Amino acid sequence: MGVDPAIWRCLPPMYQCRMTDFSCWFCDRQIERADPHALLIHVRSLWRWHDSPSSDDGPAQDVYAHSGCAKEHLRGAVMTLEPSVFGEDD
């Protein structure tokens, strides 16, 4: 007993993607394998992690980003991402 494929046509586009499709959190465009340095960003509570770093319980979320979008949008005032994250030399 499977899901009727016709149901996918009535769902909004955000629910129509396959599990192998990843959309960029910043621009909402599909991330292709041609972007080998695309990122998975894991978000969770800083203080929950600080107080119990070995525990994986608690709310968390993964988001995905094109490497270019991440480089553009993840700039800190005093901290930058390491170039090696994007497959670049230091």
- Total residues found in the chain within this entry: 90
Asked if residue 64 belongs to a domain, the reply is: yes
- Is residue 64 within 8 Å of 25, Cβ to Cβ? yes
Model pLDDT, residue 12: 55
What is the CB neighbour count within 10 angstroms for residue 4? 6
Asked if residue 56 belongs to a domain, the reply is: yes
- The number of folded domains in the chain is 1
Asked if residue 11 belongs to a domain, the reply is: no
**Given a cut of 60, is residue 16 above it in pLDDT?**
no
- pLDDT band of residue 13 (cuts 50, 70, 90) is low
pTM value is 0.67
- pLDDT band of residue 79 (cuts 50, 70, 90) is confident
Q: Which of 70, 23, 61 is nearest to 42 (CA)?
A: 61
Over the stretch 28-65, which tens digit does the pLDDT of each residue have? 999 999 999 999 999 988 898 888 877 777 788 999 99
Q: Which two tokens stand for residue 2?
A: 């499977």
Asked if residue 4 belongs to a domain, the reply is: no
Model pLDDT, residue 26: 97
